[in-house]
Amino acid sequence: MTPESLAEGIRRGERRALAKGITLIESSRPEDELLAARLLDGLSHTEMRGIRVGISGPPGAGKSTLIESLGMLAVGKGVPTAVLAIDPSSRRSGGSILGDKTRMPRLSAHPLAFIRPTATGGATGGVARRTRESMVLLEAAGFELILVETVGVGQSETEVHGMVDLFMLVLLPNAGDELQGIKRGIMELAELLVINKADGPFRHAAETTAAQVCSALPLLHHDVTGWMPRVLLTSAQEEQGIEAVYETIQAFRQRAMENGELKQRRLRQATPWMWERVHDGLRRRFLADPTIRRLVGELEPGVENGTLGAVAAAERLLQHFFGR
Amino acid sequence: MTPESLAEGIRRGERRALAKGITLIESSRPEDELLAARLLDGLSHTEMRGIRVGISGPPGAGKSTLIESLGMLAVGKGVPTAVLAIDPSSRRSGGSILGDKTRMPRLSAHPLAFIRPTATGGATGGVARRTRESMVLLEAAGFELILVETVGVGQSETEVHGMVDLFMLVLLPNAGDELQGIKRGIMELAELLVINKADGPFRHAAETTAAQVCSALPLLHHDVTGWMPRVLLTSAQEEQGIEAVYETIQAFRQRAMENGELKQRRLRQATPWMWERVHDGLRRRFLADPTIRRLVGELEPGVENGTLGAVAAAERLLQHFFGR
């Protein structure tokens, strides 16, 4: 199957073609690289039908449950919804802790939904290696709501913010004073802040947190002209406040479509995307070089037993690669 | 000044040489690359005098205050202590939110302490770009306790775990059920878990969290033969439990020195370090190529205005770089 016919299948919304396409773009085999580029090129002029939402937040904030509730609401309205779920891989075991079937049981069974779990593999932080490319395929396949989950708090937020239309931060009700310090840089990125688990005994704490967040917000700048970040309370468990989250996402999309910001934002994201691919390509070609592989085989034992310094070994490899 | 004379100055414990050395290894100028490699080579056979402790935890867990208390305790015992503090850079402003002088006022004024704040710069996650190399210099300069702070929860923990002797996780008293799920992979990495802010109204919650953490631990494996991860309660604010943290670190070091695990662990870290330098070197040489820079200048406008796809542009750059 050529990339061009795969692109056609994806545009027709065929699930098999979509899954095959994502597998192709995720492939690290050198022979797939050009095919993947051709596939993406064939899909790059897709109309902006969907909205790409990045969802981050600390562990335990209930991101998966919230994504499932939001997704169920969207598919209930007839909106095709895709989830790029990060499988938090345990570094030691090498496997994932919780499969996505168990994490989003209702949504994964719905015909209008598509869930793609991807192991981060420790490669680029809390965002899977080919998230940008996967979103292109999903949008071409007709998905109108694309939810990208990231794991952890830290680097992954800035990373996911750089590839989505709307960045949503999910917070715990008892966030307290951590909102004041280190998180500020991340809060600044969010168009939508959701205080989840705002139920039962945590309701009051959630309201306090929401008030703190709100009072911090007016000082922050935002990309999207005229959009003030919104703070919402939810209980994904009890399905409270999910409609408001959905409506806020749609209101944002409407506005960003009208004032051209959606298009501008995607254009601003293109250059970092280009660099990401360049850096990835450099690594892959280095590793694919047979003489480099031989030299690695010669040098690694010395690095492992301490007779050769890591920095000295790296210098030798680089000089060899560029020396020819 | 040659790298060799700089190395001598560092070995003599000269602060000026140390600061200059760290600046050299952090430099991204191509002409500094080889000098930095020579400096590191000259220091690579330093005796393992110190212990490198990585400190991670969610925002708001009080990492800075804990580091300052622990550092003050150590310098009070005459132990030269260095802190590699991460300046959480705000992506939008490009600057840091809190200077380290304000974050660790007492420690930064102490003659036996050395605090080096480094902006993460969005480069490699929550760990600064040259943390491994900085630790080599600090240990050569005679620092016996080296504390490496990381920002956020997520990728940075596995990253910092891969470069320190002991990985310490600082948790909030009200961690609750997030300990059960996503955090497991990170908990597995920790030799020492500290529930901080265990004071006042949070004391009880901290004890509950500690009990939960303890009950989860026996299932986990650890690198260091015979070392069972420890769980401690602290209040950095009220300086409670800091002595126990210090003693646990020293007990770990003692044991890991005796059974050879400290050496083994550092050797295991050498190969990933080599690869990190290789990947960094690939990027730098690509960017230093004048014809690539020219081609980037030609292609970028098209990527920015949407007439050229990011993936297609990346392919052209790579083909050009490797085509010659």
Residue at B121 is within a domain: yes
Q: Measure B244 CA to nearest chain A CA, in Å.
A: 25
Q: Measure B245 CA to nearest chain A CA, in Å.
A: 23
Instruction: Count up the domains in chain A and report the number.
Output: 3
Residue at A241 is within a domain: yes
- Tell me, yes or no, whether B155 and B33 share the same domain: no
- Tell me, yes or no, whether A246 and A119 share the same domain: yes
- Give the integer Cα–Cα distance in Å for A246 and A238: 16
- Give the integer Cα–Cα distance in Å for A264 and A259: 10
Per residue in A47-62, pLDDT (tens digit) is 788 999 999 887 778 8
What is the end-to-end Cα distance of chain A in Å, rounded? Answer: 37
Domain boundary among B258, B280, B312: B258
Q: What is the ipTM of this complex?
A: 0.82
Residue at B269 is within a domain: no
- Give the integer Cα–Cα distance in Å for B252 and B230: 10
Q: Facing residues of B55 across strands? A: B149, B168
Domain containing A28 equals 1-45
- Tell me, yes or no, whether A301 and A182 share the same domain: no
Residue at A137 is within a domain: yes
Residue at A317 is within a domain: yes
- Tell me, yes or no, whether A204 and A247 share the same domain: yes
Residue at B279 is within a domain: no
- Tell me, yes or no, whether A303 and A187 share the same domain: no
Task: Return the pLDDT at B121.
Answer: 47
- Tell me, yes or no, whether A74 and A158 share the same domain: yes
Contact A309 B221 (CB under 8 A): no
Write out chain A residues lying below 8 Å of B176, CB-based.
60
Strand ranges for chain B from DSSP E: 51-56, 81-87, 113-119, 145-149, 166-171, 192-195, 230-233
Residue at A138 is within a domain: yes
A151-179 mean pLDDT: 76
Token pair of A35 as six digits: 């095919």
Q: How big is chain B, counted in residues?
A: 324
A-B contacts at Cβ under 8 angstroms = 237
Residue at B212 is within a domain: yes
A229-244 mean pLDDT: 92
Interface probe for B, chosen from A35, A132, A278 (most Cβ of B below 10 Å), is A278
Task: Return the pLDDT at B151.
Answer: 67
Interface probe for A, chosen from B87, B133, B151, B155 (most Cβ of A below 10 Å), is B155
Cβ–Cβ < 8 Å for A310, B273:
yes
Q: What is the longest distance spanned by two Cα atoms in chain A?
A: 67
- Tell me, yes or no, whether A3 and A131 share the same domain: no
- Tell me, yes or no, whether A72 and A213 share the same domain: yes
User: Burial, B291: exposed, middle or buried (Cβ in 10 Å; 0-12, 13-18, 19+)?
Assistant: exposed
- Tell me, yes or no, whether A18 and A4 share the same domain: yes
B76 Cβ contact list (under 8 Å, min separation 6): none
Task: Return the pLDDT at A119.
Answer: 63
- Tell me, yes or no, whether B35 and B56 share the same domain: no
- Tell me, yes or no, whether B312 and B199 share the same domain: no
Query: What is the CATH classification number for the domain harbouring A122?
Result: 3.40.50.300
Rg of chain A, C-alpha, whole Å: 22
Alpha helices in B59-146 (DSSP H): 63-76, 100-103, 105-108, 131-140
| pLDDT in single tens digits along all 324 residues of chain B | 899 999 999 999 999 999 999 999 988 787 888 899 999 988 977 778 899 999 988 777 888 899 999 999 999 999 999 999 866 553 333 334 445 456 788 999 999 999 988 765 444 445 667 899 999 999 999 999 999 988 655 567 778 889 999 999 998 887 554 553 335 667 778 899 999 989 988 888 888 888 888 877 765 555 556 788 899 999 988 989 999 999 999 999 999 999 999 999 999 999 999 999 999 899 988 998 999 999 999 999 999 999 999 999 999 999 999 885
Query: What is the CATH classification number for the domain harbouring A29?
Result: 1.20.5.170
Q: Facing residues of A18 across strands? A: none
Contact B282 A282 (CB under 8 A): yes
Token pair of B111 as six digits: 């003659």
Task: Return the pLDDT at B222.
Answer: 58
Evaluate if residue A160 carries a pLDDT over 50.
Answer: yes
A141-153 mean pLDDT: 86
- Tell me, yes or no, whether B223 and B241 share the same domain: yes
